[in-house]
């Protein structure tokens, strides 16, 4: 398998007992991605619980409490590959009280698999998870209408659910939606086409996962390079080596490109692009990890960002974001927290909760002074040092962040930065107005 094969990250979403874990177990089983010892453990689990057949859901439901209750609580990550693509799966909970776990699993996904029980159709939890997928700017959504075997593989029932989902989808601005009828338990349309649904002429789930176009999901237009580490080997051989290491968060960089260092505004040119495999690359692009050397000796440290001089991100200390609150202790206005954004940490204080979203109706309720566990809302906040950012809608890597309670070091929230309501004045660097 080639080393440069594409990786597709996808997450599952849906109500309890819609079959998310079973679907992933079926994918792993039918692509021969289960190790022998894993299969033996499943057989032992079936014997202990008195089951007649192996429960494929137990491949992802790793916690004992999950297996006992038959539900998913934590986010479980699984990996498999085909000759065409590698896959990273995040199996997320369906319970409303674990909404924060779905946000965690979906934050880096290219695709959301939204499962719908063919017997129940579109329900509130379906709408809730579709809303979160849209809020997180997941580029692709696949609606898996599962348990078709329990409705006699009815095309009419499939069409009803298809139309029901499309009634509210436009309000979420989900750009790319695919519908697949299936039975995860029996394998219909998961890896192989179903003989029971010959009326369906679309792809199987695996075929869709292998073929969907994801090359444009990353922002390849706006060069963004948050510096993670200043590489100074300090050896006789590399005594003058000063490289800036990190993961490219957006765009493409080439040797000889002009770059600007933010927040200082200093400018230079790219002298060399260096990584472990290729000491002298001609170019690097998002989301590669690499080391960049510049022509000039500039004071650069962790948290600084390299960008194109004629296309710079926002730089500011007063910001607006949508956040999901992830802790039992409610959000406190004017309390000091720590924000972790790209490679930068800063202290922050939330000034105002603009509104809280009613996940059941998608209405924005104003006049709230806090957010509680699993609430999603919009806030205004300030930071002690400027953040260098893009709107989350434009660049997920440059627009996403987490909030940490500085007293306990516990992650209490995750957020998505929005464009300023009023564009801040462009900074003037060395007489050059950007």
Averaged pLDDT, 177-192: 94
Residue 405, pLDDT score: 94
Query: At residue 1, does pLDDT exceed 50?
Result: no
pLDDT in tens, 18-28: 788 788 888 88
Residue at which a domain ends, from 182, 211, 240: 211
Tens-place pLDDT, residues 289-324: 999 999 998 899 999 999 999 999 999 999 999 999
Among 47-56, 80-89, 210-219, which stretch is predicted with the lowest mean pLDDT?
A: 47-56
Domain extent for 118: 7-211
For residue 392, pLDDT over 80 is answered with yes
pLDDT tier for residue 140 given thresholds of 50, 70 and 90? very high
Query: Is 327 found in the same domain as 295?
Result: no
The phi, psi pair for 192, rounded to 5°, reads -115, 150
Lowest mean pLDDT among 9-13, 65-69, 135-139, 369-373: 65-69
Q: Is the pLDDT of residue 5 over 60?
A: yes
pLDDT score of 272: 92
Per-residue confidence (pLDDT) for residue 161, from 0 to 100: 96
| Model confidence at 146: pLDDT above 50 | yes
The pLDDT assigned to 229 comes to: 93
Q: Is residue 2 part of a domain?
A: no
Kindly state whether residues 33 and 166 are assigned to the same domain.
yes
Single pTM value for the model: 0.82
- 61 with 163, same domain: the answer is yes
Among 180, 211, 242, give the residue marking a domain's end: 211
Quote the mean pLDDT of the chain: 84
Asked if residue 124 has pLDDT above 70, the reply is yes
Asked if residue 300 and residue 330 are part of one domain, the reply reads no
User: Encoding tokens for residue 357?
Assistant: 């979203």
The CA R_g of the chain, rounded to the nearest whole Å, is 24
Q: Which of 190, 211, 232 is the endpoint of a domain?
A: 211
Together in a domain, 72 and 181: yes
In this structure, the chain runs to a length of 434
Residue 431, phi-psi category: left (phi > 0), alpha (psi -120 to 50), beta (remainder): left
Q: Are strands 86-91 and 76-81 parallel, antiparallel or unpaired?
A: antiparallel
Q: How many domains, the chain?
A: 3
Q: In CATH, what number is assigned to the domain containing residue 377? A: 2.40.30.10
């Amino acid at each position: 398998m080639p080393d440069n094969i594409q990786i597709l990250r996808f997450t599952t979403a849906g109500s309890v007992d819609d079959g998310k874990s079973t679907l992933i177990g079926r994918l792993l089983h039918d692509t021969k991605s289960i190790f022998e010892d894993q299969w033996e453990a499943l057989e032992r689990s079936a014997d202990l619980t008195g089951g007649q057949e192996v429960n494929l859901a137990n491949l992802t439901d790793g916690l004992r409490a999950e297996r006992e209750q038959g539900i998913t609580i934590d986010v479980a990550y699984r990996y498999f590959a085909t000759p065409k693509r590698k896959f990273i799966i995040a199996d997320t909970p369906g319970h409303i009280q674990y909404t924060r776990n779905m946000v965690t699993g979906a934050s880096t996904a290219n695709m959301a698999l939204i499962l719908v029980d063919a017997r129940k159709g579109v329900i509130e939890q379906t709408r809730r998870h579709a809303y979160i997928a849209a809020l997180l700017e997941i580029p692709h959504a696949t609606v898996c209408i599962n348990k078709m075997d329990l409705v006699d593989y009815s095309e009419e029932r499939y069409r009803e659910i298809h139309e029901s989902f499309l009634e509210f989808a436009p309000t979420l601005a989900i750009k790319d939606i695919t519908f697949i009828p299936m039975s995860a338990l029996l394998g219909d349309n998961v890896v192989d086409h179903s003989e029971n649904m010959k009326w369906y002429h679309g792809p199987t789930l695996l075929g869709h996962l292998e073929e969907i176009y994801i090359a444009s999901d990353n922002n390849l237009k706006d060069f963004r390079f948050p510096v993670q580490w200043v590489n100074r080997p300090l050896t006789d051989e590399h005594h003058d080596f000063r490289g800036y290491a990190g993961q490219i968060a957006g765009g493409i960089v080439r040797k000889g490109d002009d770059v600007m260092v933010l927040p200082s505004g200093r400018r230079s040119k790219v002298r060399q692009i260096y990584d472990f495999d290729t000491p002298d690359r001609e170019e690097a692009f998002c989301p590669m990890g690499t080391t960049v050397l510049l022509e000039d000796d500039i004071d650069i440290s962790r948290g600084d960002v390299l960008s194109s001089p004629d296309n710079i991100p926002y730089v500011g200390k007063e910001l607006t974001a949508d956040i999901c609150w992830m802790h039992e202790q409610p959000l406190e206005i004017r309390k000091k927290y720590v924000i972790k954004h790209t490679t930068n940490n800063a202290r922050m204080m939330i000034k105002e909760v603009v509104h809280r979203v009613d996940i059941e109706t998608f209405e924005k309720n104003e006049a709230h002074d806090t957010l509680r566990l699993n609430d999603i809302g919009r806030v205004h906040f300030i930071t002690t040092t400027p953040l260098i950012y893009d709107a989350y809608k434009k660049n997920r890597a440059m627009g996403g962040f987490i909030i940490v309670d500085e007293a306990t070091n516990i992650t209490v929230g995750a957020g998505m930065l929005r464009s300023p309501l009023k564009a801040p004045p462009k900074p003037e660097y060395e007489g050059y107005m950007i």
